Amino acid sequence: MNSRIVVGISGASGSIYGVRILEVLKGADYETHLVISRAGKITLAHEVTERLEGIISLADFYYSEEKIGERIASGSFKTLGMIIAPCSMKTMSEISSGVTSNLLARAADVTLKERRKLVLMVRESPLHLGHLQNMLKLTEMGTIIAPPLPAFYIKPKSLDDIINHSIGKVLDLFDIKLPDFKEWQGA
C-alpha cells in the first residue's frame, strides 16, 4: 500500500497545525515527507517551543525548500497526497498560478497535476478578492481549501482541543482517524 504523505509547512501563522499532523502521523502507519518554507521556519521559531531539529525529526524524510530536484518534485514519486498546514497566501497564490518558486509549491503543483489529494489549511484574515479568487480557482482544480477554523460545538477545553479538531478534520479527508475525533451524532 502506498502510505506516503507530503506535509508542507509554510509561513502563515498556525505552524503548530503542521507540527501536530507530523506528531499524529509518526504514531500511525504513514510515511511522511516534510518540506518547510524559509518563512515557515520563521513562524515556527515564533510560535512553537519545539526546536526545528525536533520538528524535522518527526518526519520520515525532510527536504529543504531550495532543493527543487528532490523526489517529491516528481510525479513519478507516488504519494497519497499533500497537506500544507498552515498555507500562506503566498504559497496558495503560487500553486494557483502554477508559478512555483520553491519545493513546497512545486510538490503541491505535482500533487495537482497527478490528480492526487491536495489540502490547504489556508490562514489569513481578512481576505481580499485576489485571495478568494485563488481559492475558487484552486477548488475548481480539485484542491481542498480547509482553513483551520475552531468549531465551538465540540466545547473545547483547551487550545489543544481546537488544534486537534482542525487537524482531525483534515486527516479524515485521507481516511486517517484520530482516536478522539468523533463524528457528529446530531443535536
Ligand X SMILES: Cc1cc2nc3c(=O)[nH]c(=O)nc-3n(C[C@H](O)[C@H](O)[C@H](O)COP(=O)(O)O)c2cc1C
Residues that bind ligand X (CB under 6 A): 10-13, 37, 39-40, 42-43, 46, 88-91, 123-124
Which H or E element spans position 39?
helix 38-47
User: In this complex, which beta carbon is closest to ligand X, that of residue 32 or of residue 37?
Assistant: 37
Q: Cβ 33 to ligand X, closest distance in Å? A: 17
What's the CA dihedral at 156, 20, 46, 4 to 10 degrees? -150
With CA atoms as reference, report the closest residue to 1 among 79, 116, 60: 79
b/e code 102-118 from CB counts within 10 Å (16+ = b): bbbbbbbbbbbeeebbb
Of 43 and 111, CB closest to ligand X: 43
Q: How near is the Cβ of 27 to ligand X at its closest, in Å?
A: 27
Of 72 and 176, nearer to ligand X (C-beta) is 72
Closest contact distance (angstroms) between CB of 42 and ligand X is 5
- For the record, the C-alpha cell of 72 comes out as 517529491
Residue 30 or 91 with smaller CB distance to ligand X: 91
Torsion region of 186: left, alpha or beta (phi above 0 gives left; psi -120 to 50 gives alpha): left
Minimum CB separation of residue 187 from ligand X in Å reads 32
